[in-house]
Amino acid sequence: MNHRRSLAGIVMLGTLLAVSGCRFDGINSLPLPGNANDGPTYTITVELRDAQNLVGNSIVKADNVTVGTVRRVVVDGLIAKAVLDINDSVDLPRTATARLAQTSILGAQYLEISTPPNGDTTEKMRDGDVIALENSAEYPSTEQVLSALSLVLNGSGLEQLRTIMAELNAAAGGREHTLNQSLARMETFVDGLDSQRGNIVRAIDSLDRFSHELAEQNTTIATGIDAITPALAVLDEQRVQLTQMLDSMGRFGDRARIVLNSSRDDLLSNLHDLEPTLTELANSDTDLPESLAVAASFPFPVTTADKGMRGDYLNLFLTLDLSAEAINNKILGSIPAGDLARAVLPNRAVNPLLAPTQPTPAPLPFAAGAPR
């Protein structure tokens, strides 16, 4: 009897292996009776960062309703991929997301399929579609919940955290406006740093190159320090004299300040008096330089003297006006009347013995325009 039972078990196992394509992935690869997949299904794949304890034959829910099962969980590089069998009667939108959940703190894990509130539900999933890694997540696992509970129950610095928060509240109490202004200034400062990021990087690179140059010139710098040591020793010996000199310079500065303050009004007055002279000098423009060029070699300009003088002689051409009108108006007219009266004409027809006893002749008539 036992032999027959063993034979029946072997036959059943062989039959199952033949039905499954001669492949056996463990007991979880066998479909369980009473699961949700009692008809045709289509397959989708969910990418997960951490599959935790999710295994084959785990249920898949949508809106708290079982819509399929997990066929298998495989590893692809650093992520896990769960292959799901979804009932054909269930339409899942392409915008659906997946989350690894757990029925209770010690219950079995399952996959929860949900639709985002603002997601597009018009396009449906088809066989072979994938819910990408960015659209999947996990609820906190049992281990994470117990760890958080242990943190709360054991204190773990919560009392210190309460003290810190109390001190922060006491420091910020009544200073909210000042803190807001400080945060605004900090934001402006950070924005300024961000805008100057390129300059800061260049400055750091320049400092790095400078450091390398100093390292390469280490021997030269050491030699220079050794050479300057005697000079520093001399300065140290003459420190008293240098201090006295600086004190004397300070006293000189004080005296100069007193003198300048005392003569300030006179200095301003002199500058004010010089203003007309300097103004006229500025108005002369090019006349002053041109007149200086003639003054050094009057009456011949310096610019043309080399053209008129050849060697030790000079060619001179004059035009003289010796007319009676010119002599009377320009020569005699420029002589004062008294000097002209004393210029007595030669008395060739007078008696030289009696002439001195004769009265002085009357002055000549005054010419029009002549100075008196």
Q: At what angle do helices 176-195 and 197-216 cross, to 10 degrees?
A: 60
Which ranges of 35-132 would DSSP assign to H, the alpha helix?
A: none
With a pLDDT cut of 90, the percent of the chain lying above it is: 28
Question: 9-18, 205-214, 286-295: which has the minimum mean pLDDT?
Answer: 9-18
The average pLDDT across 103-131 equals: 86
The two three-digit tokens of residue 286, written as one number = 């090019």
CB 60 within 8 A of CB 111: yes
Q: Is the pLDDT of residue 78 over 50?
A: yes
Q: Give the mean model confidence (pLDDT) for residues 29-55.
A: 78
Question: What letter represents residue 70's amino acid?
Answer: V
Tokens standing for residue 154? 């054991």
Q: Is 98 exposed, middle or buried (0-12, 13-18, 19+ CB in 10 A)?
A: buried
Mean of per-residue pLDDT scores for the chain: 80
75-84, 96-105, 161-170, 284-293: which has the minimum mean pLDDT?
284-293
pLDDT at 241 over 60: yes
At a CB cut-off of 8 Å and minimum separation 6, what does 105 contact? 142, 145
pLDDT-derived band at 286, boundaries 50, 70, 90: confident
pTM: 0.37
Mean predicted confidence (pLDDT) in 290-316: 69
Question: Any idea what DSSP says for residue 133?
Answer: G
Q: Is the pLDDT of residue 335 over 90?
A: no
Q: What pLDDT score was predicted for residue 371?
A: 47
Q: Provide the token pair at 120.
A: 């597009």
Continuous segment of H or E residues that includes residue 182:
helix 176-195
Q: Is the pLDDT of residue 134 over 60?
A: yes
